[in-house]
Every structure is written in C-alpha cells, then in structure tokens.
Structure 1
Amino acid sequence: MTQDPSMTDLTAILFMLSAGFSLFTFLYSRRRSRSLGDLRGPASSSFWLGNEADIRYQNEVGDCEFMWMREYGSAWRRTGCLGTDRLMLADPKALKHILHSAGYHYSRTIDKAQFLRMATGNGIVVAEGQAHRRQRKVMNPAFSTHQIQSFLPLFHGTASKLVQKWKGVIAADPSGQPLVNVVGWFSRASLDIIGEAGFDFQFGSLDNLQNPLVIRSEKQIIDSTLYPSWYDLIFKETWKYIPGPLLEYVCHIPTREYRGFRSWLDNVRVFSRGLIKQSTDKGDGNDIMSVLLRANGSSNPKNKMTDDEMVDQIATFLSAGQGTTAKSLTWYFYAIAKHPEAQARIREEIALVRARAAGEEFTIAELDSMTYTLATLKESMRLDPIVWNFTRMANRDDILPLAFPITTKSGQQITSIPIKKGTPIDISPAVYNRLPDVWGEDANEWNPERFLDPLRGFKEASSNIGVFGSLMSFSTGTRGCIGWQFAVLEMQIIILALVENFEFSLPPQSEKTKIYRRPSRFMLPVPEGQEETWMGLHIKSLN
C-alpha cells in the first residue's frame, strides 16, 4: 500500500531532498549530545528513517510498540528520522505529569502542529499556551453538560433513522442477513449529528449515500497519512528549522497529499463563513456555533477569538468530532460481533431499563444506569484507540516521574527520566491502554468486567488519568478533548438503538474480509490489498 511518487511530484521531491540534505550535517552532529543516551530502546533500523519506518510502515498498530513495551517497559528511547533521539512513553505517572501538571510546558512538535494546521486551520487543536487558554475559555459554554443534554433528541432521532435505513437494507437482501460496510454508515450518521448540533445545518448524509464530504474525508485520511512516502517523513523532520511564516507555505507543495489538504481546508473555510453568517443572523440558535458566537461576543476583548479562529473551529469540529466518533463506533461493533455473549447481555440490560423507562427516549440517568454497556464501550476504546499515538515536545528542562521503574543500559533501575528542552516525546495511548501493570495480565484480551470491579480495574492509582474510564482515548489534562461528553453520549445512544434492533456477526474470514488495524492518522480498518476503509459485518433484524 506504499505510494510511489509520480512524475508530477518531481519538483516536490527535489525540494524535500535538498532541504533534508542541507540540514543533515547539522542534525547528525546533534546525535552526540543525547539526553536519553542511557535509556534502552530498539536499534535504529534505517540510516535515514531510524525507527520511524518501523512505526509508520507496520502492518497493524502495535506490531512494534507492543513488542518494545514487553522488552523495555513503559518508557524507552527510539530513533527518529535523521538520527534524532525520541522518548517513547506509556507510563501513567509520566503522562499525568506531561498532560496535567505541566501541560502548557509541553507543546506539540512543530511537524505535528503544522500537519494539524493544514487539516483543521488555526482552531483549538492547533493553538498553544495563552491562545489555547483563550479559545478554550470561550468554547466551554458550548460544551457544558446542560448544552450537551439538549442534543439528546437529535442523537435519538439520528439513531432511529439509521435503524430504519438498515431495516430497509435487510428487507432488500434475499438472505435477510446482508454484509454491511458499517464504516460509511457511521461516518454519515456522525456527520448528520455534528451538522445539526454544531451548526444547525442538515447534511442529509443518511439519505445521500454518496455524500461527497464523507467520501472525500475518508479518502483524504488514507491518501495523506497511511504509509507516507519516505521522502515526506524526512522532509517533515526538517520543519522545525524552517521559520514559522515560511513553514505555512508547505501546503502549496504540489503533491497529492498536500494539494488534498489545501483543497479540503479552502472549501471548508468557505462553507464555515456561510454557517457563521447564518448563525449570526439567527442570533438565538441552540447549536454549538450559535452558543460559541454569543459567548465570544460577550467576552472581554482580550479573551475573544478572532474571526479566522472562529472559522477554523468548524473545520476542527468536522475533522475531530465526526471522524473519531465514527471510527470508534466501527471498532465497537467489530468487537461485539466477535463476542455475541456481550451483545446478549447488553440487550438484557436494555430490556430491564426499557421496562421502567419514563419514555421511549432514554434519559441521561437511564443511560448511566446501563453499566455493562458502558463497560463494553470503554473496553472497545481501550483495545482499539482511534488516536493511537501523538507527540509532545519539552519546552524546558524537566524530570519525568515514573510509576513503574525501568532498567537502563548501564543496569540501573530508575524511577524518573531527566529530559532536556526540545526533546520530542511520542505518547502512545495504544501501549498505555494495554500495560499489564495497569490493566492486569489479561490486558490484551476483551474483558469488560475490568471496568465493573473496582478491585480489578486498575493496579496502579496513578493510572487514573483519562476523562473516560481512565483511558487515553480522549487524551487528558489541559488539552483533553473538549467534546468528549458529546461523543460518549452520541455513541451510547447509537449503540443502544442498534443492539436493541439487530444482531451482529463477522463474515467468514478470508483475505478479503480480514480487518487490519492500519496505522494511519486514525487507526483505520482496512483489509489486505485494499486502499479504502472497510468493516463488513453481517446484520440480522431482531424484530
């Protein structure tokens, strides 16, 4: 699935290579001043790419990281492109320090920040320091508990519509148990929800099965982030030496990936300005953008977001709010399709709550009372985190405390790691979510019971770092996902509606139907030999 560069990309290739070569001597000399030199870690597997190739070109998420974790523990050194030293981290106490205690002292690495800027503009995902504080303060009212609860009817309505659409698909299939690619359906349902809840806009994706925004979004993720070209990885390593104003022009490089990002963001910004005008004219809307505009209008001028920042929040909502929820639902139904006993228990729980429910639509209290269903959602997100890794960079010298001691190359056991300013840190939710020291010896196995038994759940008190089930799936701390409650509530309601009405099972396993956890920007379900997302499940109506 690697992408061979075309002749039309020759100019970009030459530019990238020249930049890489011109800085190589300087970068190579930095290898000798290692702050992580005594940490154990894998040998560099490539002169140019280091261990970056191991991670980026692995068959499935975790193929190399889980192996390294078993050998080195919860923290280790690895080599990045052009010989740079990187710390790879899954230790809960260190993660809590970086993301909670010292959150604003660890920024995104320059290459990751620029990548996100190309995808979502200058919204809250990209903002750092005071700019992030300012944006988050303005956005908090739009994601309050009261505001999110007001979307319950929308969540229920969209879930019911998805149920009716699937019943139609089943009725049209002679077997009564069609093989359905659930990825696209969840992407469309999530887009419809974020459209109405976010901007009071109806995308109509569940009615338009060829919605271009859904198709383009899925294709953009794969084209731009799955198995990237080697020269692009090297080029991105040089970005930290390119002045900020000049770096913003990399989106104009004439390769397919960069053209795709530029076209996507340009179109979304035009669309966003229209939505903002609509919300401003309406004035009293209950959608997230209307609430956000009112909050921004009443803020102290020093705390306001600029017009461009407001526009780019919509690109952020579309990318983060729609894509991650749809992929989480996809992996959830894959998990329960493999575990019919879990499906049966969820239905029993639904039936018990339904019998005493106040109405047809479940309330927040009724949703929260379905503890086993919530446990299965947490367990699915633990085993299959959509955002499986991300990066931070130390903005000052620091000492990272460790919950679990590690052994250095010199044989010393250490409980903290001193790091220098500028050290890049790879944070791995995928590895943290499977640490045996946190989750037990069965950390690689499906077991929702771990979230129901407080004595079994977490072996280390400092592991309680995430906003949902102590997981890293929504990140945590100062930069934790602002919309995590929205996402969880949306997923709960869709799960209950679908499990109550359908039975899910896997098709016979073959190369065409076996699903791989591909290491794209998000963890994508892609079968062998295909270049698009696919999750085929047999669906049977229960009534």
Structure 2
Amino acid sequence: MGNQITTLLPLVVVPAFLARIYYRWQNDFLRKLRGPDSSSFLYGNDIDLICQNEVGDCEFKWAREYGNVWRQHGCLGTDRLVVADPEALRYILHVPGYHFDKRKEVLKFVEMTFGRGLTWATGETHRRQRGVMNPAFSAPQMRTFLPMFQNSASKLVQVLKEEVIAAEPSGQLVVDMIGWLSRTTLDVIGEAGFGFQFGSLDGLENPLRKQNENLFTGTPLRYGFIIRTIWYYILELPSDPLRYLPTPRYRRFRRYSAFMRNFSQGIVERSIIEGDGKDVMSVLLRANASEDPRRTLSDIEMVDQIATLLFAGHDTTAKSLTWYLYEIARNPECQERVRAEIAAIRAKKSGEELSATDLESMAYTLATIKEGLRLHPIVHTLLKEATQDDVIPLSSPIVTKSGEQVSSIPVRKGTLVDLAVGVYNRLPEIWGIDANEFKPERFLDIDKSHRSNVGVFGNLMTFSSGPSGCIGWRFAVLEMQTIIVTLLENFEFSLPPQTEKTRIYRKLAGGLMASVVKGGKGAWMGLVVKSLEE
C-alpha cells in the first residue's frame, strides 16, 4: 500500500502544480508588468537577492529601471508584486479589514521562533491583541521610562571608559559597538518592559543573552525557498515543513522558542504577584483585566508577547543605533553639530537631567536619527499576501510591457506582495535627488508638497504604518534619543582605516539588515571611539 502511494503521489502533485501555475499565469495581471528577467526557474529572482553584494543593490536598480511597482519572479514560476509607490503603500497598510496580511511563510516562522504574539497575529486576532496592548505603549507611558533609559545609557558610558577605552594607552581604539549596544538595549527592555534586571552591562551572564546571540546568523537554505513555495503556495498545506530540519539554524530556533516559553512564563507569574509595577508587562496585565474575551489576551498570548517584545525592543533597536553611529562616524561635521546642540540644551538645565521635552527640542539631533533610520531600515522588505481581490491605487502611473500607462494595479486573492521599505525610504521624488546621501537637513526644511504621509515617524516606512505599524516605535525613538545624546556627550566616533577587514557591508540575517565584514561571523561594527575627556 505504501509503495502504491509513493508511486501515485507524483501523479497527483505534478499535475496540480502545473495546473495552478497555468491558472495563475492566465489570470494574473502581474504578467503584464515589467520587471527583471528570471535568473532561474527554481529560484527566480530570489537567487539575485541572496547573492547581491549588499542589501538593496538589486531593488534600487530595478526601481530605477521599472518604476516604483514591478513584477518579480519567485521560486518555481511564482510571481510577486513589489511595491515602493507611496500611495500604494499607504493603501495596502491603511485599508480597513486587513486586505493585505502577513504571508503564510512569515506566520509559520514567527510562530516557530516567538510564538503567537503580536507579530504573528493576523486579522481580528491582531486587532484584539493590539487593542489590549495599546495602553502599555501610549506616549505618556513611554515618558515614564526616560530615567531607566538614562541610567542604562550612563552605565554604558561608564563601562566603555573603565573597561574598554582605559585599556588602550592612546585613549582610543576600535570598538565593536554592536555588542555593547545589544547589551544596553537588553538591559533597557528588561527593566522597562518586564521589571527584570538582566545586568548585561554589569558583566552578569544570563542564559537569555546566550540564546539570543547570533540567533539569525548563517545563510538561509536555498532549497528552503523551494520547499516553502511548494508547501504554502502550490499545495497550500498549513503545517511548517522546515520546523524540524536537523540543521544548526533551525535547531537554534527550536531551542530559543522552548527557552523563551519557560522564561516568559516566569516573568508573567512574577508580574502578577507584584501587581503594581510601572513596566510594560505590568501595565499590560492591568489592561488585560477585562472579563470580555474579545478584549483580553489568552494566557499563552500573554506569555508569547514577552518573546516578541524582547526581540523587537532589543535587537532591532541595537542594530538601528549601530547604523546611526556608523553614519555619524562618516560625517564628523554632523556629529559636531549634534554635540553643540546637546551642549546648548545642557547649559540651560543647571545640572538637571534632560527631560523628554528637552530631547524633543533637539531638532537637528532628531533629524539625524530620522536620517539614519531612513537610510538603514532594519526590516528592508515587508512580506504581505492579498486576502481578497482588490485594486491598488498608484501615486504615479507606471508603464506596462505593452507600453500602456496604468494608475492602479488589480490583484487577486493570494497575490504575494513585497513592500519595498528600503526603496521607498530612498525615493528621489520623496526625499530629493540626493536620497542616497546622509543629509539630516532634509528633515528640517520639509517640502510638504512631496510628503506622502505613509509612516508613523518622519514619513518613513522604517516602523511600517497603519494597523500593523510598530507598536513600540515611541519606545524605540525615545530610547535611541537618550542613548545617542549620552554617547555623543562623552565620545567621539570615527571610522577605522578602511581595509577589507573593516569595511562594513549591509547583509540580511533572519530578515533583518545587519552590519558585517567579509569573513566575519555574525554582526560587527568596529568604530574608533575616543573619550572627550582626553
């Protein structure tokens, strides 16, 4: 009987595969759109993206050639709609009813790694979870965390001066800042998020940091793209075929998931006992006190929010800060202007700590933060799928293969849509002809006629937008402001001599843009750090 099934399976799968591909080709508007030729039937243009020298090289080139919307080939003849057009992005992210939601492969990966928290939720489940969590991320709540941010930032300065820079007789040396910033943001999210002291900057060893180290290192399996395509988009099966692959990468994901469930359960239980904390989890538990199940999180959802918030509030912020310091090191005149602005505000405070209002008043410093986030969005592409037939409007017409101009794109249910965050963030028609340059001044003299009002912060797509926009963007921005101000008051940052061992490249690791050097293992950002006390 088993042999008969093995013999018959290809006779069922292959015709189903061919029929589905033919149906989609015959009925898909995407085939009328221009885009790069497929480099391989097996991998489509995915092989180009995997092999590109730096993140964005291919997408920037394709956007210049085909416009802000193009067709991109996936594995096994499947197609994707890639969108960088401002109006199209606004529509996709803001249209009511979740007409474009997370892709199946994304959902399974997030569930496998972080559980069923907010980044996993879709549709009404996402709306319910977000509604419960919103009070914990309100603007007034975020301001209460400022003293915690300042304490961690001051501790980072102290550690760098005493343990790192003091060890170098010249008072300056190349420091891998990603490691120190990662420790700092872990301590911040531990205390502000869960009332938990990780003690990373104090040198304490904690199992979570070990679990989190290099979680996303390693190149994804190429055949994994093919398996996911067949499984989710051709056969449309619900389970995850990669979950139990015996590879180091997937073993790390499984270990992390199992560890986080136990760790998070302990955090929730402690928060329930203490009850009156000011941290995010305590506020969330109080907001979850409703007896209406439509307005609460289940026990497992509550536990899984911790894994989600720990990663989103720690790793992504550390990487964003790292890229900011990289740009400031490359632009010393901008660095000095930020430092002068900080000094001017300090002079008015008579030794008092800076307030959130003080930080917000630093217009140029905030402009440099926006510019860093614009050039280096940690999530370079958002992967969506149409949940129903729809028509996407465009802000500027595009030209099809036949030469026809179209101002909207009809899509069918199931269409795969890539939101090109990195491309949008560098569109010349939005940001100017110098969009590839680090120029904070563009945020000080904004041409509102070109403003697209897409993102939640600075018109950027870095934090996404709409109902699925990053719930913790205020937390991230205030934390970044605090750490940047504290660091630049105490240190001068510059690039080391540029060699093949120190040149920084943008590479994807687990879907996030990391700074790496050739031949290095994991993320690295070596900067010359000099104490200003010298």
Q: What SS is found at the alignment partner of 2:31?
A: coil
The 5 A counterparts of 1:14-413 are 24-33=17-26, 34-102=28-96, 104-168=98-162, 169-208=164-203, 212-223=207-218, 227-240=219-232, 247-248=239-240, 250-298=242-290, 300-357=292-349, 359-413=351-405
What's the Cα RMSD here? 2.0
Q: 1:209 to 1:238 in 2, by over 3 A?
A: farther
Indicate how the Cα distance of structure 1 residues 22 and 510 shifts in structure 2: closer, same or farther if over 3 A, else same: farther
Structure 1 position 445, deviation (Å) = 0.9
Q: Which letter maps to 2:191?
A: E
Worse overlay, 112-121 or 440-449: 112-121
Question: What is the 5 A alignment of 1:494-505?
Answer: 494-505=483-494
Paired residue type of 1:353 = I
Partner of 2:4: none
Letter in 1 for 2:180: W
CA contact (8 A) 1:119 1:265 kept: yes
Instruction: After TM superposition, give the deviation of residue 356 of structure 1 in Å.
Output: 1.1
Aligned equivalent of 1:481: 470
Q: Could you state the TM-score of these two structures normalised by the residue count of structure 1?
A: 0.92
- Structure 1: where are the runs of 5+ without partners? 1-16
Name the amino acid aligned to 1:197: A
2: distance between equivalents of 1:82 and 1:38? Answer: 19
Aligned-partner SS, 1:219: coil
Q: Distance in 2 between matches of 1:423 and 1:127?
A: 19
CA distance in 1 between counterparts of 2:126 and 2:384 reads: 15
Q: Say whether the 8 Å CA contact 1:399–1:419 is kept in structure 2.
A: yes
Assess if the C-alpha contact under 8 Å between 2:231 and 2:241 holds in 1: no
Give the aligned partner of residue 523 of structure 1: 513
Q: In the alignment, which residue of structure 1 is the partner of 2:495? A: 506
Q: What is the one-letter code of the residue matched to 2:54?
A: E
Query: Take 1:522 and 1:393, find their aligned partners in 2: how far apart are those partners?
Result: 20
1:315 to partner: Cα distance = 0.5
Counterpart residue type for residue 41 of structure 2: F
Q: Secondary structure at the match of 1:415?
A: strand
Q: Which moved more, 1:213-222 or 1:487-496?
A: 213-222
Q: Structure 2: how far apart are the matches of 1:252 and 1:22?
A: 28
Paired with 1:78 and 1:206, the residues of 2 have a C-alpha distance of: 45
Q: Find the aligned partners of 1:245 and 1:66 in 2 and give their Cα distance.
A: 34
Distance 2:108 2:86 in 1: 27
Post-superposition offset of 1:242:
8.8
State the Cα deviation string for residues 87-108 of structure 1 (Å, max 9, x = none): 0010110000000124611111
- Aligned equivalents of 2:291 and 2:131: distance in 1? 9
> 2:454 maps to what in 1?
465
2: distance between equivalents of 1:24 and 1:191? 46
User: CA-to-partner distance for each residue in 1:487-509, whole Å, 9 max, x for gaps?
Assistant: 00000000000001100000001
Q: Give the counterpart of 2:528 among 527, 531, 538.
A: 538
8 Å CA contact 1:197–1:287 kept in 2: the answer is: yes
Distance 2:43 2:11 in 1: 16
SS at match of 2:345: helix
3-state SS of paired residue (2:43)? coil
In the TM superposition, residue 57 of structure 1 has moved relative to its aligned partner by 2.6
Q: Judge conservation of contact 2:84–2:424 (CA < 8 Å) in 1.
A: yes
Inter-partner Cα distance in structure 2 for 1:393 and 1:152: 38
Inter-partner Cα distance in structure 2 for 1:147 and 1:451: 26
Shift of 1:198: 0.9
Contact kept in structure 2, 1:187 and 1:214, CA below 8 Å: no
**What CA distance in whole angstroms lies between the structure 2 residues aligned with 1:454 and 1:300?**
45
Contact 1:440–1:459 (Cα < 8 Å) also in 2 = no
Closer, same or farther in 2 for the Cα pair 1:310/1:411, shift >3 Å? same
Q: CA deviation at 1:148?
A: 1.0
Question: Residues 18 and 221 from structure 1, CA distance in 2 versus in 1: closer, same or farther, beyond 3 angstroms?
Answer: farther
Displacement of 1:173 in angstroms is 0.9
- C-alpha separation between the residues in 2 aligned to 1:449 and 1:18? 62
Q: Which runs of 5+ in 2 are unaligned?
A: 1-9
CA contact (8 A) 1:31 1:85 kept: no
Using the TM superposition, give the Cα deviation of residue 239 of structure 1 relative to its aligned residue in structure 2, in angstroms.
3.3
Spell out, residue by residue over 1:282-322, the C-alpha distance to the aligned partner (whole angstroms, 9 max, x if none): 11111111111111113523321110000100000111111
Given that residues 94 and 467 in structure 2 are in contact (C-alpha distance below 8 angstroms), is that contact kept between their aligned partners in structure 1?
yes
Q: Which moved more, 1:155-164 or 1:240-249?
A: 240-249
1:117 is displaced (CA, Å) by 1.3
Distance 1:319 1:399, change over 3 A: same
Post-superposition CA distance 1:136-183 (Å, at most 9, x none): 111111111221111111000000000001111111112211110000
| Percent identity over paired residues | 55
The answer as to whether partners of 1:502 and 1:539 remain within 8 angstroms in 2 is: yes
**Count of residue pairs brought into register by the alignment:** 521
| Letter paired with 1:29 | Y
Displacement of 1:244 after TM fit?
8.9
Q: Deviations over 1:64-110 (max 9, x none)?
A: 00000100111000111111111001011000000012461111110
Contact 2:17 2:235 in 1 (8 A): no
* Worse overlay, 296-305 or 178-187: 296-305
TM-score for the superposition, normalised by structure 2: 0.94
